Chain A
Amino acid sequence: MPKTKNLKNSDHTATLGASFRDPSGFLFTDGETLYRQVNRIYATDYDQLMESGLYAKLVKAGLLIPHQEVEQPVRSPREGVGPRRGAQDEAAYKVLRPELVPFISYPYEWSFSQYKDAALATLSIQKRALKLGMSLKDASAYNIQFIHGKPLLIDTLSFEAYQEGQPWVAYKQFCQHFLAPLALMALKDVRLSQLMRVYIDGIPLDLASQMLPGSTRLSFGLLTHIHIHAGAQKRYADAEIKQPKERGGVSKQAMQGLIESLQSTVRKLEWKAGGTEWGNYYEITNYSDTAFEHKKEIIADWVERVKPSLVWDLGANNGEFSRITSQAGIYTVSSDIDPTAVEQNYRRLRQEKEKNILPLVLDLTNPSPALGWANQERDSFGQRGPADIVFALALIHHLAISNNVPLTRVAEFFAGTGEWLVIEFVPKSDSQVQKLLKSRKDIFDQYTKEGFEQAFEMYYHIQAAKPVKESERILYLLQRRK
């Protein structure tokens, strides 16, 4: 899977941890460059993708990652695996250099609409592929990434020649990776997207079927693709699949019907937080307009000084402050623990066609771990860093007070995420902190301006500190100690 930041640390070729299931090829890095090897076994399908016009059409529609074919030989990590030691990898047909994904995100970090758009992008790709005689041979949610604000397929080797009569080999995977989580999020609880963290190949359909409300059996799409599908999986688990017959199987028309049915089932899934409309859900802060504008000015000024190319705005709420950098053309990961705020953030970027912002659902007190085979398939949140600058605005009290993390540990954590940190200290006298202390004993003697500075100076130099007008809060610009 393409990464950017981590590449800087590697001075040798290495295959990526997530790139091993499909024999068609694999990803590897050479220093700072990411390559995708196409194996000979996949040559015919790759040529068909390129020559049928499908590649060009999907790239033009913004649904497939663009790549360039590079002249061989590129150092392949599998050099010498063939009969002649030291020779090129004999399995290699071509080597591609794909466009880089600015920040890899995973389905358990997407808001509802991001997830839904990713599902619809997958189905749209499959429909276009069928028209040009190809079909997706996998439908993994991990193959979709957000670039320029839109979901696209990053696995160029996901296509195979379509043979009429063959069913869609990725049908089960699509239902487990997309339909089941979306249905659970929309119709049961939006937090159930977190089941994707537990099940690496998607939510088991029998589990989804049990958890979904009984009324979902009245929807043709959910009844068939989830409930009956789950029943059939159990009943026919040991049935043997025989060689293709002359007639029978799934006709092209039936295949189209299947894809359209999945499309309409996904489209009908909607999520409304607490039944409210999206426009007026959010109460942002206890800030006055002056304080709000002053805060923005200070941050913009400091960003100008640091000149970052990757920003992480942690605890970003609906992304108000992320837009200081994203609108200046700086790629900004805008994360929050609240799925509602992230949904609102994504809806705004979609409406305004914003390109440099990636809203994500992330609980900082329990960030995404490394997952999958040997814990190497999906990177932890930290492994996907570092950022050039991290924003922690109106966040410290949630970590230090709500979550009881000592300030030195908060400082240590942030020091691992990037060289620069813009952090807002919210004193105990602030109404938001008072709210948190209402229901509990104040055991936070260290939680003072002095205690804060002392803790953070263990890891950072304080480069600037500015009180925010008409508030009791202070903004700090910190640079990590060497």
Chain B
Amino acid sequence: MFFLTNALLSGFGDKLAYLDPGSGSFLIQLLIAALLGAGIALRASWSKVKKLFGIKSEVNEDAEDEEPEE
């Protein structure tokens, strides 16, 4: 975390962002999100590898967030 500098900070140009995101919250979000984004990317490639070997993916815990089939 300590290597983070202001150079990493990007801002909010939107006039409607009425909440103060908080500098610290903003920074830590960048860090966590980067980490978790990498995790998702890894997971995606891992499931591709598994598919290659014919292994089924685990049950999607977030099924409730998916759109129901029309």
Contacts and interface: CB of A to CB of B under 8 A. Distances in A.
Nearest to A205: B25
B54 interface: no
Interface string A219-252: 0000011001101111111111111110011110
A254 interface: yes
Interface string B42-70: 00000000000000000001101101000
Contacts of A249: 10, 30
Nearest to A157: B16
B24 to A, nearest CB: 3
Interface string A255-291: 1111011011001000000000000000000000000
A267 B40 CA distance: 18
Number of chain A interface residues as a range? 35 or more
29 contacts: A22-B16, A23-B18, A41-B16, A128-B65, A138-B19, A166-B10, A167-B10, A167-B33, A168-B29, A169-B17, A172-B26, A228-B28, A231-B24, A232-B25, A233-B22, A233-B28, A240-B23, A241-B9, A244-B12, A244-B13, A245-B10, A250-B29, A250-B30, A254-B37, A255-B37, A257-B38, A258-B33, A261-B32, A263-B62
A241 B32 CA distance: 18
Contacts of A128: 65, 67
A172 B67 CA distance: 27
Contacts of B25: 171-172, 175, 229, 232-233
Contacts, number: 158
Contact of A233 (B24, B30, B61): B24
Contacts of A267: 61
Interface string A135-178: 00110000000000000000000001001011111111101000
Interface of B: 1, 4, 6, 8-19, 21-30, 32-41, 61-62, 64-65, 67
Nearest to B14: A160
Contacts of B27: 232, 236, 239
Given A224-B28, A232-B25, A232-B28, 8 more contacts: A22-B16, A137-B16, A137-B18, A236-B24, A241-B26, A253-B37, A257-B36, A261-B32
B58 to A, nearest CB: 13
Q: B-side binding surface: helix, strand, loop or mixed?
A: helix
A32 interface: no
A241 B62 contact: no
A260 B16 contact: no
B33 A254 contact: yes
Contact of B40 (A175, A224, A233, A256): A256
A257 B33 contact: yes
B9 A242 contact: yes
A452 interface: no
Given A241-B11, A257-B36, A167 B16 contact: no
